[in-house]
Amino acid sequence: MDFDQIAAAVRESFQAEAVDLLDTMEAKLLELEQGDADEEVVHALFRAAHSIKGGSGTCGLTAVANFTHVVETLLDEMREQRLKATPELISLFLKSVDCLRGMLSAAESGVDFDAAEVAAVQQLLEAELPQAESGSPEPEQPARPRSDGNLWKVVFKPQREFLHRGNNPLLMFHELAELGSLAVLVSVEDLPAFEELTPEDLYLWWTLELTSDCAQQDIEEVFAWVEDDCELTIEQIESTAEEAAVSATAESSGPRPPAAASKPTNPKQTGSIRVSIDKVDALINMVGELVITQSMLGAFDDYSYEDFDAQTVDRIRESITQLAQNTRELQEGVMRIRMLPISVVFQRFPRLVHDLSGQLGKKFELVLEGEQTELDKTVLEQVSEPLVHLVRNSLDHGLEAPEARLAKGKPETGTLTLSAFHRSGNAVIEIRDDGAGLNTEKIRNKAIAQGLVGEKDSLSEDEIHALIFRPGFSTADQVSDVSGRGVGMDVVVRKIKALSGDVSIKSVEGKGTTVRIHLPLTMAILDGQLIRIGDRIFILPLLSIVESLQVNHSNVSVVANAAEVYRLRNEPKPIVRLHDVLGLDSSRADLSDALLVVVENGGDQVCLVVDELLAQQQVVVKSLEANYRRVEGLAGATILGDGTVALILDVPRVVAAARQGSPRFFPPANNQAELGETQTAAAS
């Protein structure tokens, strides 16, 4: 590895750690603000800042290191009880976290950060220091060596595999040189003969002499990143300070961030993922069992044709069943790797709520439920923005100002609950507030004004509420910076639909609003029911099937607008003729002897007319969008055992369309060019 590659690896690793550390700092600061003035919280803050300082220094991000140094100093004062955590100070710290995030992301993208803003915040921080200068040393300006001060002798003996971890001693020496004037002496006594030399191993060790008036702590910090990978001896040879020469071996000058195996990644990082060790171990077990099954089957390889009797065939069958089970478990296991707890997304909300509370002058309490609910990583990344928008809506428009709430007899502090849970194969996220609820009248009037709804149209309350998802719709009296422009809700809906999900809203005026998002748990594999419609095979997700039955003609009735309804146990369910919906030849005019499959979505049920029920099998969902685009009514496609493509029906869409009374929710497609047919269709 050359210098640049090692440096890049170190930077990358630091960036990832820093993101987590800053998130931790933010969370702890908010805890502190709530009044949890736990000693441990302050210590945790200090440790985090310290690690960021050390790591950024090693990476050569001097500005970050300098800035963090001031933060760390203040935190040090706090944990020594010399500084009190006032709300203003905490806000300042939060601002510093933002600055650091900005600086780090600027460094990552290779652009410049806003130096003026950072300098301003740094000044405010420095103003908070109890005295002009505490005992901690000033951060050094880069490349300003001091020739006065103490003489330190540092013996640095890295382990053989030092370079394997992407460490580069030269980086550390550079940093050390910034503390003072440095003399470096290398020892090659451990170098083996050339033939035995492994290029990636490090056989050298160094004696460094540093003249500086820094503290020993500063030297230790330079090596903090690699303290486990080397032997470090720091000795003060001469001292002009009051302290006597102290010889110390490398102490833990700052704990490394714990190698948290199950810590979630920032949803913005799409390149890598952290996986809990349990999931990996489970996979290893499953593969082990798969290997066993494979050798069971492999044993039959040696059999000759005569050896295959009924008994052998049975044993092969057993092995195949076993194989199916192993494969299924392995599939599920691997899927789970891509699943992350939703806390990854939820964790940005305490900060958001805190900021908005100040901005809007309202009081909020945020309750998070079901943070451990797991979702696919990609889904999480995509759902984050819509959630933010919905939360802002709630806080801005839903929850009332403290006076208004008191006047209504509600507690002054509004409650916003974010809840996540699994239900029938879906992940559900709920955003519940106890605010003003939706003003049905207002929405109706706005819709009429916008021409979306006729004056005479009768709509249920839920249908009126659903209008707010239309583009450009907003009943907000004022457009605020936070929300109200009416460009948000339809984007939310679109993004959720792009994830094959669903959004619904329930509200009671004066009491509150609940927005509910349904998301598929995993988009890649589903249990499918193969059905035949005409001469084509389609797939219905097994989870959405309630039951199937033979039509009893007396239960079929036709409602006013020619929609067919089936009376199932005294409840009317819309009938959807899939042939019509899919533009296929209708194989039967009436429904006698027809086969109905009752499917459900979100509590609504619908009867689908199919020709035949075929096998059930696990189906790998293949994307239509990859090379074509999303097709209305389809949730994807799959490849059957014989290599042909079968289409997967989008049950939620079918149910929704049927409920709106339009079973033909798209016009019958022109018949595809059949064999022998001629067509002079206009160009598309």
Partner 1 sequence: MEVQEQDQDQTLDHAANLGVLGENHREFLTFFLSDQEYGVDILRVQEIRQWSPTTPLPNVPTHVCGVINIRGTIVPIVDPRICFGMATIERSPMTVVIVLRTVRNDRERYVGLVVDAVSDVYDVAIDKIKATGDLGGGAVSQYTSGMIALDKKMVVLLDIDELVQVDDEQLDDVAQQEL
User: Cβ closer to partner 1: 85 or 647?
Assistant: 647
Shortest separation between residue 618's beta carbon and partner 1, angstroms:
15
Residues that bind partner 1 (CB under 8 A): 469-471, 494, 497, 536, 581-583, 622-624, 626-634, 637, 639, 643-647, 657, 662, 665-667, 669-670, 672-673, 675-684
Look at residue 342 and give its three-state secondary structure. coil
User: Given the complex with partner 1, which of 63 and 467 has the nearer CB atom?
Assistant: 467
Instruction: Give the tokens for residue 74.
Output: 């203040």
Strand order in the sheet with 414-423: 364-369, 414-423, 426-433, 512-520, 502-508
Nearer to partner 1, 335 or 568 (CB): 335
Find the shortest distance in angstroms from Cβ 635 to partner 1: 13
* Cα 255 from Cα 383, distance rounded (Å): 35
Residue 560 C-beta: closest distance to partner 1, Å = 21
- Amino acid identity at 471: P
> At closest approach, how far in Å is the CB of 673 from partner 1?
4
Q: Can you tell me the distance from the alpha carbon of 324 to that of 474, in angstroms, rounded to the nearest whole number?
A: 52
Q: How far is the CB of 503 from partner 1 (least distance, A)?
A: 11
Please name the residue ranges forming H helices in 204-362.
216-222, 277-298, 310-337, 343-346, 349-360
Residue 360: both structure tokens together: 């809007």
For 80: left if phi > 0, alpha if psi spans -120 to 50, otherwise beta; the answer is alpha
Beta strand 536-541 pairing with 645-649: parallel
User: Closest distance between partner 1 and the C-beta of residue 564, in Å?
Assistant: 20
Q: Minimal distance in Å, beta carbon 609 to partner 1?
A: 15
Q: How far is the CB of 578 from partner 1 (least distance, A)?
A: 10
Residues 6+ apart with CB under 8 A from 379: 427, 499, 519, 520, 523
CB 456, min distance to partner 1, A: 20
How far apart CA 201 and CA 195 sit, in angstroms, is 13
Kindly tell me which of 232 and 503 has the beta carbon lying closer to partner 1.
503
Query: Which of 378/662 has CB closer to partner 1?
Result: 662
Q: How far is the CB of 534 from partner 1 (least distance, A)?
A: 11
- The rounded distance, in Å, linking the Cα atoms of 278 and 337 is 10
Closest CA to 543 of 589, 609, 625, 599: 599
CB of 521 to partner 1, least distance (A): 22
Q: SS3 sequence, 581-602?
A: HCCCCCCCCCCCCCEEEEEEEC
CB closer to partner 1, 182 vs 584: 584
- What radius of gyration, in Å, describes the C-alpha atoms of the chain? 33
Do residues 10 and 165 make contact, with C-beta atoms less than 8 angstroms apart? no
End-to-end CA distance of the chain: 56
183 vs 645, beta carbon nearer partner 1 = 645
At position 598, the amino acid (one-letter code) is V
Enumerate the β-bridge partners of residue 518.
428, 502
Would you say the C-alpha torsion 670, 671, 674, 678 has a positive or negative sign? negative
Residues forming a β-bridge with 507:
513
The least distance separating partner 1 from the CB of residue 614, rounded to whole angstroms, comes to: 15
Q: Which is nearer to partner 1, 402 or 534 (CB)?
A: 534
Residue that has been written with the tokens 């800035």 in this structure: 67
- Burial label for 202, CB within 10 Å (0-12, 13-18, 19+), is buried
Nearest CB to partner 1, comparing residues 353 and 505: 505
Give min distance, CB of 176 to partner 1, in A. 47
In the bound state with partner 1, the residue whose beta carbon lies nearer, of 252 and 662, is 662
Shortest separation between residue 248's beta carbon and partner 1, angstroms:
58
Distances (CA, A) of 644 to 111, 537, 542, 584: 50, 10, 20, 18
Question: To 5 degrees, how large is the angle CA 311–CA 316–CA 322?
Answer: 130
The token duo for 600 is 């459900």
Instruction: Give the distance, in angstroms, between the CA of residue 248 and the centroid of all CA atoms in the same chain.
Output: 44
Q: Smaller CB distance to partner 1: residue 570 or 672?
A: 672
Q: Which is nearer to partner 1, 184 or 452 (CB)?
A: 452
Enumerate residues 6+ apart whose C-beta is below 8 A from 543: 424, 425, 526, 527
Spell 641-667 as b/e; 16+ CB within 10 A means b: eeeeebbbbbbbbbbbbbbeeebebee
For residue 225, give both structure tokens.
């990143």
Shortest spacing between CB 522 and partner 1, in angstroms? 18
Q: Cβ closer to partner 1: 63 or 581?
A: 581
Q: Give the residue with the Cβ less far from partner 1, 424 or 662.
A: 662
Distance CA 349, CA 228 (A): 36
Minimum CB distance to partner 1 smaller for 279 or for 497: 497
